């Protein structure tokens, strides 16, 4: 049955491999260029030296040079969904076209057919997600050293979450397809469901996994005392919100535009801010140290729902009368 199952899933597996190959074709050359630039500019030495002005310039020029490419890769967050949905096709197609009647009337039980077919789909999805994670993690390494990997654009490709996303998309397509028995609509609906779930988690749910940390520090030296410094490791953290505030962290609505218009240049802006008592900065963030905790929570969330959905598809198909 394993041979049969792989043979039936051959097209989907080839397409999946092609998608990964395409990612590699895009990422490997740019990745090499980026790694070389990182070494040549001496950025790692810069980070160790902890930020002289010259260094800031080097880092800024590096990030601005590769910003566009990095932004483009954020679209790859759809890939686990695409792969997961695609790998459900073989299973749903059998129910739609009626070939399950051929398979179920050979000498193997329906249960064995279901477990083997689902098993090969899960295996392919996991391998593809792993390949993609390794590829993008390698590619992003210079950025991670500069900015950390807690922000959405990086976090989604690192660690274990991509496997969870791929399984979730697979499970959703299987569950919808098992009931509906129409391949194309089921796959489309599952993909839309995947995108909706990802948007919900990325923009709202994830920041509530663990309550974020707040900090306020004095930005500008003045009558109230010397300037403070932002919390350590903030440059690697996921910053949810940051704004000028008073000493207690209350938001102050600084009309920056008005400040600029009033004074035009930098020193003027400072005094303008001081006038408005906005000498403090307030930040709400998830620290980089929570990376694996968040990854664990999110992978279990998507993986857990995937297990339920795949189990449902199996049960529904098995108990079909």
Partner 1 sequence: MSQVSALTAQGLGKRYGSSWALQDCTLEIPPGSVTALVGPNGAGKTTLLQLAVGLSEPSAGGVLVFGRLPREEARSVLPRVGFVAQDHPLYKGFTIGETLKLGRKLNPSWDEEIAVRRIELLGLPSGKKVGKLSGGQQAQVALTLALAKQPELLLLDEPVASLDPLARREFLQSVMEVVADTGMTVILSSHIVADLERVCDHLVILSQSRVQLSGSIDDLLASHRLLTGPRTDSAAVARVHDVIRESHTERQSSLLVCARGHVYDSSWEQNEVDLEEIVLAYLGQRTVRVAEARPIGEAVRS
Q: Judged by CB under 8 A, which of 102, 134, 293, 308 binds partner 1?
A: 102
Minimum CB separation from partner 1 for residue 84, in Å?
Answer: 22
Half-sphere exposure of 188 (CA within 13 A, CB side): 4
48 versus 101: smaller Cβ distance to partner 1: 101
Residue number with CB closer to partner 1 (3 or 75):
3
101 binds partner 1 (CB under 8 A): yes
Question: What is the distance of C-alpha 308 from the center of its chain?
Answer: 22
Nearer to partner 1 among residue 9 and residue 16 (C-beta): 9
Is residue 6 a contact residue for partner 1 (CB under 8 A)?
no
14 binds partner 1 (CB under 8 A): no
Q: In angstroms, give the least distance from the CB of 171 to partner 1.
A: 25
Q: Based on the shown chain and the rule CB under 8 A, indicate whether residue 107 belongs to the binding site for partner 1.
A: yes
Q: Does 184 bind partner 1 (CB under 8 A)?
A: no
Q: Which of 28, 33, 45, 108 binds partner 1 (CB under 8 A)?
A: 108
CB 218, CB 280: distance < 8 Å = yes
- Return the residue of 50, 64, 68, 105 that touches partner 1, per CB under 8 A: 105
d(CA 99, CA 105): 10
Segment interacting with partner 1 (CB under 8 A) among 4-12, 75-83, 179-187, 270-278: 4-12
Backbone angles phi, psi at 213, to 5 degrees: -95, 140
Q: In what order do the strands lie in the sheet with 238-245?
A: 213-218, 280-286, 238-245
Helices and strands, number each (H, E), in the chain: 14, 3
Least distance (Å) from partner 1 to the CB of residue 85? 20
Strand partners, 245: 251, 280
- Compare residues 110 and 269 and give the one whose CB is closer to partner 1: 110
Is residue 104 near partner 1 by the rule CB under 8 A?
A: yes
Rule CB under 8 A: is residue 109 a binding residue for partner 1?
Answer: yes
Number of residues that bind partner 1 (CB under 8 A): 20
92 lines the binding site for partner 1 (CB under 8 A) = no
Among 44, 74, 106, 214, binds partner 1 (CB under 8 A): 106
Q: Is 110 in the site for partner 1 (CB under 8 A)?
A: yes
Among 97, 203, 214, 300, binds partner 1 (CB under 8 A): 97
Give 110 or 145: the residue with its C-beta nearer to partner 1: 110
Residue 87 binding partner 1, by CB under 8 A: no
Q: Binding to partner 1 by residue 8, rule CB under 8 A?
A: yes
- Helices (DSSP H) in 201-290: which residue ranges? 256-263, 266-275
Least distance between partner 1 and beta carbon 106 (Å): 4
Long-range CB contact pairs, 8-17, < 8 A, 24+: 8/90, 8/94, 8/117, 9/87, 9/90, 9/117, 9/120, 9/121, 9/124, 12/86, 12/87, 12/89, 12/90, 12/124, 13/87, 13/124, 15/86, 16/83, 16/86, 16/87, 16/124, 16/128, 17/128
CB neighbour burial string for 229-249, b if at least 16 within 10 angstroms, e if fewer: ebeeebebbbeeeebbbeeeb
CA–CA separation, 22 and 208 (whole Å)? 35
The rounded distance, in Å, linking the Cα atoms of 300 and 125 is 16
Q: Which residues bind partner 1 (CB under 8 A)?
A: 1, 3-4, 7-8, 11, 97-99, 101-110, 321
């Amino acid at each position: 049955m394993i041979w049969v199952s792989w043979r039936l899933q051959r097209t989907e597996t080839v397409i999946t491999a092609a998608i990964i190959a395409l990612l590699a074709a895009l990422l490997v050359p740019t990745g090499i260029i980026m790694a070389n630039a990182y070494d040549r500019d001496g950025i790692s030495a810069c980070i160790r030296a902890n930020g002289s002005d010259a260094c800031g310039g080097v880092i800024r020029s590096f990030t601005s040079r590769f910003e566009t490419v990095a932004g483009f890769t954020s679209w790859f967050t759809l890939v686990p969904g695409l792969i997961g949905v695609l790998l459900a096709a073989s299973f749903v197609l059998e129910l739609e076209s009626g070939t399950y009647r051929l398979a179920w009337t050979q000498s193997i039980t329906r249960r064995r057919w279901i477990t083997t077919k689902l098993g090969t789909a899960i295996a392919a999805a996991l391998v593809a997600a792993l390949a993609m994670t390794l590829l993008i993690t390698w590619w992003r390494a210079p950025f991670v050293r500069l900015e950390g990997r807690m922000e959405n654009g990086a976090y989604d490709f690192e660690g274990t979450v991509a496997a969870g996303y791929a399984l979730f998309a697979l499970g959703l397509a299987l569950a919808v397809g098992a009931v509906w028995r129409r391949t194309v609509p089921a796959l489309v609906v599952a993909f839309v469901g995947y995108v909706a779930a990802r948007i919900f988690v990325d923009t709202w749910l994830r920041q509530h996994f663990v309550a974020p940390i707040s900090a306020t520090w004095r930005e500008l030296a003045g009558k109230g005392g010397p300037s403070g410094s932002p919390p350590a490791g903030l440059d690697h953290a996921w910053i949810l919100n940051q704004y000028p505030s008073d000493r207690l962290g209350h938001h102050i609505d600084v009309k920056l535009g008005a400040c600029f218009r009033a004074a035009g240049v930098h020193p003027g802006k400072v005094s303008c801010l001081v006038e408005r008592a906005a000498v403090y900065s307030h930040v709400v963030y998830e620290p980089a140290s929570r990376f694996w905790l968040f990854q664990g929570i999110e992978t279990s969330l998507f993986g857990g729902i995937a297990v339920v959905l795949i189990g449902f598809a199996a049960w529904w198909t098995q108990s079909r009368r």
